[in-house]
Structure formats: C-alpha cells, structure tokens
Structure 1
C-alpha cells in the first residue's frame, strides 16, 4: 500500500489522478494539500505517525508538494518520536536536500520504500528537445551552459534549483519561496532565460524540480525569452497548457540534456 505525504500545490493531485488506486493521503499539519486528507500529523509525532502507517499496511511512501520547515515544540514531542529527535534536529539544521536525505533515511529505517513522484507519473518528465515554436538562440545556449554552473554553486550551498540568466550574468536565484516568487519579482528581463535543474547529487526521490502553467505565465509577465529545464530532471505539469501559453507569447521551452550546447 502506498502513502502519499502530500504538500501544497498541484503535484499531489496530479499523482493521485494517475494511480490505479487511491493512496493513503497524509499531510504535515499546516501544509495541507488540495486533496481530502486521511491523516494529518505533526513533526513532534513523527514516530507515532510511522507506527500508524505500519499498522495500516503501508509499505511505500511518496513525498510530493511544497512544505516549509515547521517549528518543533519540544513540549509536544511524544514518546514514540523521542528516539528520532536527534535525526530530526539534524535534518532541520541542513539545507533542503540534506534535510530530505535525513528524512528519507528515517523512512527507510522504519521499513518503508521511498517512491519518487516521477516513478508514479513518468509522463511528467517531457522528452528532450525544443518543444515550442520559438527556439533558443546562441546567446540563450550560452546562458544555459552558465546556468549549469550557477545550479552547481547553489547545490554546493544546498539552496534553490532555479536561476534567471541573461548575457552570461545571473539576474536572480531561487529562494525559499520558490521559482514563481522569483519570477514575480522580475519585470522587463528581456532576452533572459529561466534555468531550472536538480542540484548535483540530489536524491531525486523527493523535491524533484517542477514547472507548470503558473511558471509559464510568470515567465511571460517577466519578459523572458524562454525556459530551459534539465531533461530527466524537471517535471512539467499540464505540458499542453504550458506550451500553449509560451507559444502565444513567443517564448521557448527547451528540455535540455545536461551539458548540451
């Protein structure tokens, strides 16, 4: 049996729609998805939550959707969670990928197999190539090469999975509020590109980068020339809608193999 630990955004609903049977939908308190939730839990009750999943016959867990780090109330930690607290605290002290690696290890130690969102919905990973009517120019290809370097540097600091590149310069880097927030802060970024890719050595079973129609809309509003995503490393929700929005305004979408010129 599969349990989906669902966060905010449209990805959890997209996964449920693709599954032959509805999973057990769980959510961290304060970050409920746009789905009917079967179990809501607090991080202070993680041990009890894992015991509940075991009792319900869960063998696989998928984590999908946006969450932010909750504050831990020491007074609320229950007995089943107390042995896990050193690892939970270690996770909270790390960057995004480091924290997820610790959480994944906790789930595996409890006997669960962790399943990636793109394993449930492989169709969310588009084929490599330029998928729009507009195509990237040579300057955009140069910016994409430099985007690789920017993501590598961000990955070393374990922060962010996207940046805005123009003429060999970094105009913006993704922060804790995500890609759409970064795009919303820009205007008139003509000939710039949104570059998005997973961090080097990222565990792709959780927090795989994602774009969707809102991303396309904000890219248009920011005046970008196009979007470049790493092939096999970035999911696209509602691809047809994304392409229609980009084609309508002359932007390109390049699903680029890593390192491709």
Structure 2
C-alpha cells in the first residue's frame, strides 16, 4: 500500500489523479492539501507514532508531494516513538531544504519504508523536451539560460534555492526561502528595459524523491510582470503543474517556455 504525504499546492491533486488507485492520503498538521480529503493527519512531534501506524496499516511505500514548512517542535507533544528521532528532526529544521529532506527520507527508510518520487509514480507529470510555446527563445535568451544553470549549480553548494533570473548575462535575482513567486515580485519595479529569463532546475546533487521544483500558471503571470521574455526549465527536473493552462497562459502573454537538457 502507498501513503501520500500531501502538502499544499496543486501537485498532490495532479498526482492522485494519475495513480491507478487512491493512496492513503496523509498530511502534517498545518500543511494539509488544498483539496484532497485527508485520511491521517499527524503533528511533526508524533512522526514516530505516525510511521508505526503506517506500518500497522500495511503501508510499504510513501511519496511526499506538495509544499510544507518547518514548524517549531513543541516538546510537550512528543510521543515515545518520536523521542529517539528528535536530534535528527532538530538538525533537519536547521538545515537547507535538501539537507532537511534527506534527513526525513532517512527516517522513513530506516523504518523500512520505500520512498517514491512523484515522477516515478507518474512519469507524465514531467514535460517533454523542447519549446512548448508559440514564442521562441532568442540566442541571447539561450545564453542567459546557460548562465542561469551555472548560477543554480553554485547555489547548490550552499543548499539555497533552485531558480534565478538572468538578463544579458547578469543575475537580477536568486531564489531564497520565500520562493519563486516572491523573487519575481521583487523585480516588478526593475529600472531597466526588461527582458531576461527565469531559469529553474533542481540542485545537481539533490535527492529528487522530494521537493522537485515546479512551476504553474502563476509563474507565467509573475514572469511577465517582472518583464521577462521567457522561462527555461531542466528536462526531467521540473514539474509543470496544470501544464495545458501554463502553455495557454504563456501563449496569451507572449512568453516562451523552454524545456532544455540538463547542463553538464
């Protein structure tokens, strides 16, 4: 049996719609999915008890999909099964995103559960290679994308962000803890004539079983508001949520969406 630990956003809904049968839908308290009904909610302080319950129900695999935050741990809520996990959880909360997810994945694996990636269960959730829109990137846009790939690689060393904005070879913004939408919004009053690309890709050494980057319709509108010419994402590394709607929105706004091979 598969358990889906669902967070917020569109990904859990899209994943469940693609699965042959409905998984056991679970959620951490405070980060429940927007639309799916939840079969089992749990506080982080009772993660150990939650894992024991999953195994008692016959769950052998889990998938984590959707956005979650980092809640503070309330010592008074910690159950006996979670007590041995506290040092690992505390370290995870203080780590970067990839470090935190590796720690949580390790906890599930140590308990004998297999951790599946969303795109492993539903491969068509990832877009195909090529330009998916009517608008096409210029040579300058492709050069900016190369520059963006190098910047994301450099960011990965510090476990910070999965996206940046490049224009004419210059980094205008890099993604931090507040995410892509906030980064794009910060550029809506940029002083230059506009142009440039949003580049998004997973960190080169990231564990891709969780927190694979994603874009959606709001990314397209945010990119246009920031004065950009297009969006470039890495093949096999970025999920496009509501893909048909994203492509239609890009076409309406004159934005290109390019899926390129992973930079070497």
TM-score computed with the length of structure 2 as normaliser: 0.95
Match of 1:187 in 2: 188
1:179-200 CA-partner distances (Å, limit 9, x unpaired): 1222122226621111000001
Matched, 1:244 2:248: yes
8 A contact 1:188–1:223 mirrored in 2:
no
Which secondary structure state, in structure 2, belongs to the residue aligned with residue 114 of structure 1? strand
Which secondary structure state, in structure 2, belongs to the residue aligned with residue 203 of structure 1? coil
Which secondary structure state, in structure 2, belongs to the residue aligned with residue 62 of structure 1? strand
Match of 1:214 in 2: 218
> What CA distance in whole angstroms lies between the structure 2 residues aligned with 1:185 and 1:124?
29
TM superposition shift of 1:220: 2.0
Which secondary structure state, in structure 2, belongs to the residue aligned with residue 79 of structure 1? coil
> What CA distance in whole angstroms lies between the structure 2 residues aligned with 1:217 and 1:23?
33
Which secondary structure state, in structure 2, belongs to the residue aligned with residue 80 of structure 1? coil
Matched, 1:30 2:20: no
8 A contact 1:12–1:64 mirrored in 2:
yes
1:25-72 CA-partner distances (Å, limit 9, x unpaired): 111111111211111111110110000101111111000100111101
TM superposition shift of 1:139: 1.1
Match of 1:67 in 2: 68
RMSD of aligned residue pairs (Cα, Å): 1.2
Gaps of 5+ in 1: none
Which secondary structure state, in structure 2, belongs to the residue aligned with residue 3 of structure 1? strand
Match of 1:144 in 2: 145
TM-score computed with the length of structure 1 as normaliser: 0.96
Match of 1:6 in 2: 6
Match of 1:40 in 2: 41
Which secondary structure state, in structure 1, belongs to the residue aligned with residue 41 of structure 2? strand
1:198-224 CA-partner distances (Å, limit 9, x unpaired): 001000000001111111121122221
> What CA distance in whole angstroms lies between the structure 1 residues aligned with 2:122 and 2:226?
30
Match of 1:76 in 2: 77
Gaps of 5+ in 2: none
> What CA distance in whole angstroms lies between the structure 2 residues aligned with 1:69 and 1:159?
15
8 A contact 1:213–1:238 mirrored in 2:
yes
TM superposition shift of 1:259: 2.5
> What CA distance in whole angstroms lies between the structure 1 residues aligned with 2:64 and 2:115?
8
Which range moves more in the overlay, 195-204 or 231-240?
A: 231-240
Match of 1:20 in 2: 20
